[in-house]
Amino acid sequence: MNINWKVRAKNPLFWFQLFLSIVVPVGAYFGLTGQDITSWPILFDVTFKALSNPYVLFIVGMSVFNSLNDPTTKGVGDSDLAMRYKEPKGRG
């Protein structure tokens, strides 16, 4: 996996996308909404249940893979151009 991790780490959208790729499948599997997570014990319980369930781990893994994959390139890594970036590319 040839990915420009330094540039991705500087992009807030990358972190938001990664967060959602973990939280959404877990919430969907357990039928949860944000209103259901009202205390730390509930959050820890859901986290433990998710980590104990191979199917949930699989769907989270697939979701994370999909958020990391660049669909504009062949294979899994970033393009040669993206690998040369020092900062996330701006618009325009």
Residue range 15-38, pLDDT digits in tens: 999 999 999 999 999 999 999 999
Q: In terms of C-beta density within 10 A (0-12 exposed, 13-18 middle, 19 or more buried), how is residue 50 classed?
A: buried
Residue range 57-69, pLDDT digits in tens: 999 999 999 999 9
Q: What angle do CA 51, 55, 57 make, to 5 degrees?
A: 40
pTM summary value? 0.85
